Amino acid sequence: MWLLAGGWERPDGDMWLLGGASAAPYRCAMTDGPDVGDLHIATVVVNVQDMRRAVGFWCAALGYRQREAEMDPRFVMLVHPDGRHVPVSLQLADASPREPVPLHLDLYTNEQARHVERLVALGATRVDEWPYPADADFVVLRDPDGNEFCVIDHAGL
């Protein structure tokens, strides 16, 4: 299997594109070589300034729960109740995120408008000043700590 910029090639030769990539994909690395071994993404870590607020927001937003019974004030891993999705970890940080943020979460759904409104009601804010393209399939939001994330109108990934 080849990893492609903007997507990846499936075993049947078809390609999955990520989030509206418009440029032609190009091969950039083999993903099944011996150097990769068991290396994989196990969790995504989000820096937060208020752990209790962040745990409440992200648990309500994603339907996740804390992995540990006791809340560590510096680091909390949130997991899907059925273990079906990638965990999200929250890490206490001294400062709010600076722009442009180097990394963000993309949340996929086929009910974009409903989830955007639900997330705003939970404490997220819309980023209206974003340079949206005319055919944008995403809405940019910020969590209560200022971390950007997108709600993308596509449930397939």
Same domain, 48 and 23: no
Q: Has residue 5 got a pLDDT over 70?
A: no
Domain count, the chain: 2
Span 82-86, average pLDDT: 94
Same domain, 26 and 83: no
* 27-30 β-sheet, strand order: 15-17, 7-9, 2-4, 27-30
Same domain, 112 and 137: yes
Chain centroid offset of residue 103 CA: 9
pLDDT of residue 30: 52
Same domain, 69 and 87: yes
pTM for the model stands at: 0.73
Range of the domain at 127: 44-153
Q: Would you place residue 98 in the very low, low, confident or very high pLDDT band (cuts 50, 70, 90)? A: confident
Identify the CA nearest to 104 among candidates 128, 138, 131.
Answer: 138
Same domain, 67 and 13: no
CATH number of the domain encompassing residue 76: 3.10.180.10
What pLDDT, in 10s, does the model give residues 99-152?
777 789 999 999 999 999 999 999 999 999 989 999 999 999 999 999 999 999
Question: 40: which residues sit within 8 A by CB, 6+ positions away?
Answer: none
Q: Would you place residue 96 in the very low, low, confident or very high pLDDT band (cuts 50, 70, 90)? A: confident
